[in-house]
Amino acid sequence: MGTHLPTREGWKERLVTRRTGRGQIYVLLSVEKRTCDNCGWGTEFATLWASPADDIERLTWCSSCFNARSEPAEPSSLDGVRRRQLLERARTAPLLLSWNGARAAIDDLERRGLL
């Protein structure tokens, strides 16, 4: 695993959601940045997402190379209070603007200086 890189805190205040091709909503729980072990110069993003049915996905990708993976994660190891709060915010939002992909969502946070 690569070297941990610092992140800003601004994204934690935001409700970041994405919608899958089947219409399933996922909320962003956490994001970490580290150096990519595969190419050595890219930034690897490791993100955790939760659906209302408590499916947790860990999506990881590199900004520079083809290194990318998706794997399920166990909800038991996560902060349940924060997860439920975020899902409730998503459920009750009058207008939920969701990204089509994890990468687009994270790129937007980076652009806005929130990550």
Please state the closest distance from residue 110 (CB atom) to Zn ion, in A. 16
Number of residues that bind Zn ion (CB under 5 A): 8
Range in contact with Zn ion (rule: CB under 5 A) among 8-16, 54-62, 92-100, 103-111: 54-62
In whole angstroms, what is the distance from residue 38 CA to residue 85 CA? Answer: 35
Q: Does 35 bind Zn ion (CB under 5 A)?
A: no
Among 20, 38, 43, 98, binds Zn ion (CB under 5 A): 38
Q: CB under 8 Å to 47, separation ≥6 — which residues?
A: 28, 30, 31, 32, 58, 59, 60, 102, 106
Nearer CB in complex with Zn ion: 30/67: 67
Phi-psi region of 27 (alpha: psi -120 to 50; beta: other; left: phi over 0): beta
Among 20, 43, 51, 67, binds Zn ion (CB under 5 A): 67
